[in-house]
A = this chain, B = another copy of it.
Amino acid sequence: MSNGEAPPRAAFQGEPGAFSTEAARQLLGDKVVLIPCETFDQMFRAAESGEADFCIAPIENSLYGSVYQNYDLLLRHDLRIIGETCLRIVHNLIAPPGTKMDEIRRVYSHPVALGQCLQFFARHPALRAVADVDTAGSVRKVMATREAGAAAIAGSRAAEVYGGEIISAAIEDDHRNYTRFLLLTPAERVVETPSGANKTTIVFSLENRTGSLYRAMAVFALRDIDLSRIESRPIHGRPWEYSFYLDFLGNMAEPRVQNALAHLAEFAAGIRVLGSYRHAPPLPTCPSSAT
C-alpha cells in the first residue's frame, strides 16, 4: 500500500500493541501510522471523517464467532471492504524484564483473554486472574505501575511496545484460535475493484416469505458462485426481520456476479455491495471456499 507518499493512517480499537495493530501491519505494511480508538464506533467514524485513511475491523474469531458489532457498523457507515487478513491469536504472560515466574501473583487482561488461558491458570494455582478492559492496555499498566507481583496477558506486540518481557509464551488453551480482520476505507476512495479481488461481501434484506432465503442462495448456486459465509443480523424497528451478509468468491467486474446481483434485486431489498477484495491467503487456518 505504501507508494512513496505519506504513510497510510489506520484507526483501530484498543491500545497500541493490540492484535488489531498486527493485522494493520500485515495489511498496510510496517510504515502504517496507527490511530488508537476506544470503541469500534469511534474507529469507523475516524475513517469516515478522514482522520484516518483506513480502519481495521475484527469480524470473526474461530472460537467466538462473528464480531456482531462490526457487522452492524458496516450497515450504519459508508465504508468499503478492500482487504482482509487472518491472524493467529497467541497469548503470552508479560511482566517487567527480570521478573521470575514464582514472583507473579496477579495477572491482568481482558476477560476473553483470561478465559482462553484457563489451563495455564490451573497449572499455576498461585496466580490470580484479574479482569481489565484491554489486553495491550493491561501490559501498559503493569509496566507503568510496576505493581509488585503483577503481570498481564497479551500478544507479543504489546510486550515490544511497552518494553515488557514474555515470561511464558503461547499460554492459550486452544492454539487453533484465529481472528479475521477487514481493511475498510471510505466508499468515495474506492474508484475501482482492488487488483486480485476474488471475494465480495454484500448485504440485503428479504421479505418474510416462504423460501426467500433459499431463492437468494439459488441466485449464486445457479451461476456456480461459491458462497463462503452467511451471517444474519436483526433489523431495528422490524422485529424478526433480518439483514443477511453474504461472502462469495468472485468480484463485481465479473458478468456472472453482475447477473446474480440483478437476479437477487428481483426479490431482495436494500442490496449493498460492501466491497470486492482479495481473499485472505488460503492457509489451512483461514477460511477457504466454505459452505
Contacts and interface: CB of A to CB of B under 8 A. Distances in A.
Given A62-B239, A236-B63, A291 B230 contact: no
Contact of A239 (B176, B213, B238): B176
A221 B212 CA distance: 10
Interface stretch (A9-17, A96-104, A146-154, A281-289): A281-289
A216 to B, nearest CB: 8
Interface string A213-239: 110011011001011001111101111
A228 to B, nearest CB: 9
B234 A62 contact: yes
A70 interface: no
Question: How many copies of the polypeptide does the oligomer hold?
Answer: 2
A221 B214 contact: yes
Given A62-B239, A230-B230, A232-B231, A290 B211 contact: no
User: For the side of the interface on A, what is the size category?
Assistant: 35 or more
A68 B176 CA distance: 20
Contact of A236 (B174, B285, B291): B174
Given A210-B226, A211-B227, A240-B288, 7 more contacts: A63-B234, A65-B233, A174-B237, A210-B224, A213-B230, A214-B227, A240-B286
Interface of A: 60-65, 68, 174, 176, 178, 206, 208-214, 217-218, 220-221, 224, 226-227, 230-234, 236-242, 285-291
